[in-house]
Amino acid sequence: MKLFTKTTAVLLIIALAIGCATVPLTGRRQLSLVDDGEIQQQAALVYKEFLADPSTKVVKSSSAAQSVQRVGKNISAAVNKFLTESGYADQYDFNWEFTLVQEDQINAWCMPGGKVAVYSGILPVTKNDAGLATVMGHEIAHAIAKHSAERMSQSIVAQAGGAAVGIATSEKSNATRAIINTAYGLGGQLALLSYSRNQESEADRLGLVFMAIAGYDPNEAVGFWERMAQAKQSQGGGAPPEFLSTHPSDARRINDIQKLIPEAMKYYKK
């Protein structure tokens, strides 16, 4: 056990020395062992394959599709403005794409590089452009905070092996494939899930600022998350204990967002 502890400690020191990055707005230092540019290239390929899949029903001509495009363009413009004014613009080279997919699932996501998909199942919950901006701002915030690269970096450390660091620093494409297929023990899972909850909260904060800069009232975010909580209850899906979830509990998230609104309102102009 002592040997394992020392090895892990050395690995952590090496990892921290290899690479750290800073999240815009929050200023949080994060571990960065994988190349974000490569992740974006892979994400672009996966996104292209996703859209080309016969089972993916892309909605192109509808008022809802127009809303997704409109809100997406407004949020991305707000993000670009924020990054430029904050001095982070040179760290990002996103090629934005926004797609509405006909799918009953209540979901939306943004891949590294700005590839965004919104599922039609979430539209009854968003209700309007402000609700949609809440969702898209949050998902885009994950990409801006480079949470995917960070999670991969955390996975490398979780393997607690010097070879993993070697892979991460020399053969990054191999590292990416290896990390995706990595299985963790229970302790490792709980540690990573906790980190994911922190990332979710960070995305909430960034997302509120992005929607505010884009001209959407951050107060609308509370209503969206309240409707989301109701939607989950109506589907009969009981939430797992918070310490076993990758997301904060609904009550905690809403309470935290209410505390973050004053900061976001500083960026809001009607």
Q: How many CA atoms lie within 13 A of 191 on its CB side?
A: 11
Given the DSSP bridges, would you call strands 97-101 and 115-119 parallel, antiparallel or unpaired? Answer: parallel
Residue-range domain boundaries for the chain: 2-265
Helix (H, G, I), strand (E, B) or coil at 105: coil
Retrieve residue 103's tokens: 């799918």
Q: Which backbone phi and psi does 33 adopt, to 5 degrees?
A: -105, -10
155: CB partners within 8 A, 6+ apart: 179, 182, 184, 192
Cβ density class 152-169: b for 16+ within 10 Å, e for less: bbbbbbbbeeeebbebbb
Q: Which residues pair with 110 in a beta bridge?
A: 116
Q: Considering 97, 139, 200, 220, which one is annotated as catalytic?
A: 139
Q: Are 264 and 208 in contact (CB under 8 A)?
A: yes
pLDDT tens digits in sequence order for the chain, 270 residues long: 444 455 555 555 554 545 688 999 999 998 887 777 888 888 888 889 889 999 999 999 999 999 999 999 999 999 999 999 999 999 999 999 999 999 999 999 998 899 999 999 999 999 999 999 999 999 999 999 998 888 877 776 666 544 444 444 444 454 444 433 332 233 445 555 555 889 999 999 999 999 999 999 999 999 999 999 999 888 765 566 665 577 888 999 999 999 999 999 999 987
Structure-token pair, residue 16:
């921290």
Which residues touch 194 (CB under 8 Å, ≥6 apart)? Answer: 243
CA atoms within 13 A on the CB side of 94: 27
Residue type, 148: S
Known catalytic membership, residue 139:
yes
The residues, ordered by sequence, that sit 6+ positions from 66 with a Cβ below 8 Å of its Cβ are none
| Prediction pTM value | 0.82
